Amino acid sequence: MTRVVADITISLDGFVTGPDPGPDSGLGTGGKALHTWAFSDDPEDRRVLREATGRSGAVVLGRRLFDVVDGPNGWDDETGYGAAEVGRPAFVVVTSAEPESVRLDELDWTFVTTGLPDAVAAARERAEAASARTGTDLDAVLMGGGALVRSALDAGLVDALTLHLSPVILGAGTPLFTGAVPRTLVQRSVIVTSTATHLTYDVL
């Protein structure tokens, strides 16, 4: 069964980027420290990343994040979705208008201009098709940014939430939960490594 999984890294004080994120610094000031775990040699971090990348049948991201990863300092052959794993699922971008060009044209991009619910539905369809091809249950993953993940949670579009809690205090940046609709979660797993605490919840 295809699930919609929100998967994002967060600081101890609740931010998913540092201050002043932008096309040339997608994680903002100090924000790179959030993703130390994704490039860690810790075998448990590597397993968490490998398994999550391997379960991704389709990935949803917002336009700002797309502009970062498709920009000149974005993804390349060594660093992409899943960090060094460089997974290649279908990607669905929520945007008000399609970009004029795409640098990473070898990846499978779909641009949805009719809103987040339609983008999540498109990603679920792509993940279900990938599951049928591979004979494996694959997820539709909400990669971010933070506003997209929070909006999807608020709208009841998310089946599971995975947080990679980084031992970093940023002080400011893009908050994940400020102003969010109250939700009840059921904790399913906790994995503690040398660089992060990986938390998975079912969303009720």
CATH number of the domain bearing residue 140: 3.40.430.10
For residue 200, pLDDT beyond 90: yes
Distances in Å between the Cα of 60 and the Cα atoms of 67, 81, 105, 142, 166 are 13, 11, 17, 5, 22
- What are the tokens at 150? 């929070």
Q: Is the pLDDT of residue 153 over 90?
A: yes
pLDDT computed for residue 86 by the predictor: 86
CA distances from 80 to 14, 130, 135 (A): 24, 20, 25
Asked whether the predicted pLDDT for residue 23 surpasses 90, the reply is no
Eight-class DSSP state of 64: H
Q: What percent of the chain has pLDDT over 70?
A: 100
| pLDDT, tens only, 6-17 | 999 999 999 999
User: Which of 193, 201, 191 lies closest to 36 in space, CA to CA?
Assistant: 193
Mean predicted confidence (pLDDT) in 60-88: 92
pLDDT tops 90 at residue 84: no
In this prediction, residue 43 has a pLDDT band, given cuts at 50, 70 and 90, of: very high
| In the predicted structure, residue 65 carries a pLDDT above the cut 90 | yes
**String of DSSP letters for 163-191:** EEEES---SSSEESSTTPPP--EEEEEEE
Both tokens of residue 147? 């506003």
- The domain tally of the chain equals 1
pLDDT at 163 exceeding the cut of 90:
yes
CB atoms within 10 A of CB 189: 10
41-65 average pLDDT score: 96
- Encode 73-112: b = buried (16+ Cβ within 10 Å), e = exposed: ebbeeeebbbbebebebbbbbbbeeeeeeeeeeebebbbb
Over 75-136, what HEC string results?
CCCCCECCECCCCCCEEEEECCCCCCCCCCCCCCEEEECCCHHHHHHHHHHHHHHHHHHHCC
Q: State pLDDT tens for residues 131-147.
A: 999 999 999 999 999 99
Average pLDDT, the chain: 95
pTM, rounded to two decimals: 0.94
pLDDT at 24 over 90: no
CA–CA separation, 107 and 87 (whole Å):
10
Q: Which domain holds residue 194?
A: 4-203
